[in-house]
Structure 1
Amino acid sequence: MTDPNSPIAPPPAPALGSVSNDDKLWGMLAHLSALLFGFLGPLVVWLVKKNESAFVDDQGKEALNFQITVFIAMLACGVLSIVIIGLFLMPIVGLGALVLTIMAGIKANGGETYRYPFAIRLIK
């Protein structure tokens, strides 16, 4: 059983009511912008739109937290590449990040909140 106060345990998705098409688009962009710009894409989307929409605020924070987690994991893989294991883990982390980011973008485009299964939630 996981501790609900742990920074790794996914919080329950908030009830956001109906989500406009514009909010769905920005929520999707919060996730998918990471494919081109790393954690800077979700950061910019979240900073620009967080006060305009609860949905975009939520999904922007979620995408940013996940991309920070991926960045930390890649740094750890870089360090572990000294002992070879990092060279095997790096593509696994990259592929997992790609798949989860695309899944999150699809869910956000449908107006659903998405929670990444492996994210350290630093921004609350």
Structure 2
Amino acid sequence: MLDNHQKNIATFIHLSTFSRFVIPMGNFIGPIILWIANKDKSEFVDQHGKQAINFQISILLYALIIGTLTVPFFVFKFLHGIDFIDFHGLHDFHINIGKPSPLLYIGGGLGVLAFIGFILELVFIIKASLKARDGEPFHYPFTINFIK
């Protein structure tokens, strides 16, 4: 039988991932500290800790992949159109905006995909926290199990 302490620790493991908005790498530091300190005391806390850490590592991996794919599209677009600002002294300044490149659309699409992924990440963390609070197991979707 799960007691409230175990449920609270599991909930705080998930919620501690939001510490990244205050502390750099807090989404890894918080869950790892809570998980390591409590994993031997409860199988429930151990499973939720592993899920939270695996999810954060998976999100980092997906963000690196999307970033690696997105950045070159923007760089190639702006290096190709490097002459889009004409500046000839203070009396002659022009901005030439031409037709957008398909590369810009692809890069923008990947940026939108990253934003949707961020929103889904927040939703999954909240859902996992609520499941832990209720004493139920939760498995994040799209998670690679680095810690088994």
Normalised-by-shorter TM-score class: 0.7 to 0.9
Using the TM superposition, give the Cα deviation of residue 80 of structure 1 relative to its aligned residue in structure 2, in angstroms: 1.8
SS of the residue 1:48 aligns to: helix
Matched, 1:19 2:7: no
Q: Deviations over 1:41-85 (max 9, x none)?
A: 211111111111111111000111011101111111211222214
Distance in 2 of aligned mates of 1:32 and 1:108: 10
Q: Flag as ranges the 4+ runs of structure 1 deviating above 4 A.
A: none
Q: How does 1:2-81 map to 2 (within 5 A)?
A: 18-36=1-19, 37-81=26-70
Distance in 2 of aligned mates of 1:31 and 1:59: 8
Unmatched runs of 5 consecutive residues or more in structure 2: 20-25, 74-106
Using the TM superposition, give the Cα deviation of residue 105 of structure 1 relative to its aligned residue in structure 2, in angstroms: 0.2
Instruction: Give the TM-score, by structure 2 length.
Output: 0.69
Return the match for 2:114 from 90, 114, 123. 90
Q: State the aligned residue count.
A: 107
SS of the residue 1:111 aligns to: coil
> Which residue matches 1:119?
143
Asked whether the 8 Å contact 1:73–1:93 carries over to 2, the reply is no
Using the TM superposition, give the Cα deviation of residue 86 of structure 1 relative to its aligned residue in structure 2, in angstroms: 3.1
Instruction: State the Cα RMSD in Å.
Output: 1.1
Instruction: Give the TM-score, by structure 1 length.
Output: 0.81
Distance in 2 of aligned mates of 1:75 and 1:35: 19
Using the TM superposition, give the Cα deviation of residue 108 of structure 1 relative to its aligned residue in structure 2, in angstroms: 0.1
> Which residue matches 2:131?
107
Question: Whose strand proportion is higher, 1 or 2?
Answer: 2
SS of the residue 1:39 aligns to: helix
Asked whether the 8 Å contact 1:66–1:116 carries over to 2, the reply is yes
Q: Deviations over 1:77-110 (max 9, x none)?
A: 2112222143222111111110000000000001
SS of the residue 2:10 aligns to: helix
**Which amino acid is the alignment partner of residue 112 of structure 1?**
E
**Which amino acid is the alignment partner of residue 132 of structure 2?**
A
Using the TM superposition, give the Cα deviation of residue 119 of structure 1 relative to its aligned residue in structure 2, in angstroms: 0.4
Question: Whose helix proportion is higher, 1 or 2?
Answer: 2
Distance in 2 of aligned mates of 1:41 and 1:61: 13
Using the TM superposition, give the Cα deviation of residue 38 of structure 1 relative to its aligned residue in structure 2, in angstroms: 1.4
